[in-house]
Structure 1
Amino acid sequence: VSGKGINAIFEMLKNILHEGKLDKRVQYMIEVVFQIRKDGFKDHIAVVDALELVEEDDQFTHLIMLDEATDAQDILNVFKVDNEYEENESKYKAISKEILGSDASDDEDGSSSGSGSGSDSDDEDASGSGEEGDEAKQQLIVDNTETNLIALRRTIYLTIHSSLDYEECAHKLMKMELKPGQESELCHMFLDCCAEQRTYEKFYGLLAQRFCMINKIYIEPFEQIFQDTYTTTHRLDTNRLRNVSKFFAHLLFTDSIGWDVMRCIRLNEEDTTSSSRIFIKILFQELAEYMGLFKLNARFKDPTLAEPFSGLFPRDNPKNTRFAINFFTSIGLGGLTDELRDFLKHAPKQIVQPVVAPVPEEEDASSSSSSSSSSSSSSDSSSDSSSSSSSSSDSDSEGDRRKKKGKKDKRLAKTKTSASKDRHSKHKNERRPPENGGGSSRRGYEREEASGRNDRDRRERDDSPGRTSRRS
């Protein structure tokens, strides 16, 4: 390979990389190519050993000048019928035997002769292969202790903690050449290592982002892990919950995984717990910090994602809508609920119909008639139970007459009370002794009072029961 040519190519790649106008995936591929060049192409051989047909000592180098005219021999590209095919074929075999040795001719002869003798040994081969297959089945051992899986997780863990930055870690892990089906274990290890830290480290978010950008096979495991983590948030403590939320917020912000994973979130009082609400709170606060409230709101208004976000912004029940509005307002993201507020404001109100209590049946007919007349006259319901079975118009007129009669009686009673008070005060004033009168008039008044008291005492003694019995 020409050194000047490869240097020129890598110089152009470096300039393209510095411009920063490439897709993330292409940028990562160019960085991998630079790393391969840095390692000296030790994993990429220039010529595969199987293609080295001519030994190095027997090779002849043909020099072709770019300025000279060369004979391309285009006539060889045109097909011509060979009348002496067998003779020329034998010559070709002789020449190839001289160049490649006797191995090529032996292979050709063996292939032709083997077809004839193969039918004779089919039965023996079939019987022998059957016995070998039975022995292989007996020797097959199934390892249920997951020793290989534990060793893989240990290797990934040590590789992560021995790397200086996420780019070095990603390069080391890519060289491990995982087997099909082990990608999910790698994704789980990223999340577990991130969760066990005291505080969130952006190293793990960038590492997961790099793998999602390099190979799309890692996107689906991370999306499945997001859904599984949300359903099992009650098993995580506060520190792990915070780290996991920030980890997935980084993947969502960088579009490493699809936003349709949020279809598993249903924001209402029945389908959420305290742990899941903390998870949603930290997740959306991190997204708002990364993207800004304006871009985040625009993402939620994307019509292509309306169905996955229907659980986050419920409109099926006013109760759930109010819960979502109050939740986002309490975490400082009330600006995301403007459309929900308008929807709740213009939503038709549900009319609550009163529940009518059943009336118990009674054997006495008079009780039913009294209950029907109780609405018209509450005070005289027991006395007028017989008359309440008449028409509603008669009962209403009778009730009005009773009300008027009651008001008239009250006015008459008030008049009598005021008249009696006036008479009592007048009588008291007449019997009151003069304050500034003479002594003779005062003594006369006292004698009258004493005689009045004696008369009252005499009448009381005459009316007593003991006096009546002695008289009898």
Structure 2
Amino acid sequence: MSLIQTEQEVLVNTRAGGVYIPPSRLKLLQQKVTDKASSELILQTSKISFFELINENLIRGRGLFARSIMKAQAASPPFTPVYAALVAIINTKLPQIGELVLTRLIVQFRKAYRRNDKTTCLATTIFIAHLVNHLVAHEIVALQILVLLLESPTSDSVEVAVGFIRECGAHLAEVSPKANNDVFDRFRAILHEANVEKRVQYMIEVLFQVRKDKYKDNPPIATDLDLVKEDDQITHHLSLDDELDVEETLEVAKKLEIRDQTNTNLINLRRTIYLTIKSSVDFEECCHKLMKLNIQEGQERTYEKFFGLIGERLAKINLVWAKSFEQCFVQYYETIHRYETNRLRNISKFFGHLLATDALSWQVFNIIKLTEDETTSSSRIFVKILFEELSGTLGLQKLKERLKDGTMHENFVGLFPKDNPRNTRFAINYFTSIGLECAEIAYSAETCSRK
């Protein structure tokens, strides 16, 4: 870099040793130095730009990235191989970005083709050609573009097609030789028909010579830009006829929701709840303090009788809490076998208190199917402790009245099954075996089955 900069300063900014240099010669010298240094300069600049890019949130800014790189490529078509190599590198790690760039290029080409915008077509097709060379795009889109351009040939469309196939012809000849031969047969037919300008006919003749020389001046990927292994590349099978979404809303600034994946906020929340509970005199004060915390949904935990009183108060204050407790009841019952006996007992007592105080709807009993086949030892212990808590809080007489309530009969279909005698006997024996205090509940089950 230092040698290049020194030579540029000598020839561009000075006139060697005070010797007069004609303007025409000075211009040639400047151009020569620029051409000599351009490849190395652009390589160094690309490295710097790439390291700056990977430090940014490319997923969130993929719309801006796609727009910027397409704009830069259109302004400097000679540097298209560099831009394509950059997209190819990013595509290996973030394929959604490579797909977005390719999608927008295809849509841009379709619009430019309909508007007869030759300049945009040339820039876009060159970019697509290099993405095909880097295996970011499948060769089918390249062949579709060539068929479209040569189907109804005009001087402009043939010129675009010639420039396009010069960039990706070597790759097409390797991966799809038959289709490539068909394309050149079409070029030969256009040349013989002589319906295009002489300038374009000469371009076709030069193209055949380039093909004969095996694209020695137009390699698919330059050696310095061959940075991605073929096995690592992700190819997008997009077609020219697909309905493509360019995701224009990606350029619109939106508020980014930051999620804590380290559980720091959860640990702090648990500490706050613990200190709040321990510093409260009674459950009413504790409930009042917890409501002041503005806890978000999905962050609450419960425990013991004291917590049952808190849960009761929360469920009666806001229906959202009641619905959440109902969902928790279903989830805990379905996964109750995962908990040890001590935790199972605490969970069952908590929900028993909520049911006894009508803080929780008795419709949750629909989830319980008290049969030998549909229960486990853990679920039977859960139901036993649940009814012990209900009978202890409500009393046997009131619990019996609840179980005989005709309006709630549908909620106890699974609890007191009567579909066949085997399940009915199992339910009666179960309630009889869990203790004397549940004898009348067993009687209610027997009465229900006889009806």
What TM-score does the superposition give when structure 2 sets the normalisation length?
A: 0.41
Structure 1 or 2, whichever has the larger Rg, is: 1
What TM-score does the superposition give when structure 1 sets the normalisation length?
A: 0.40
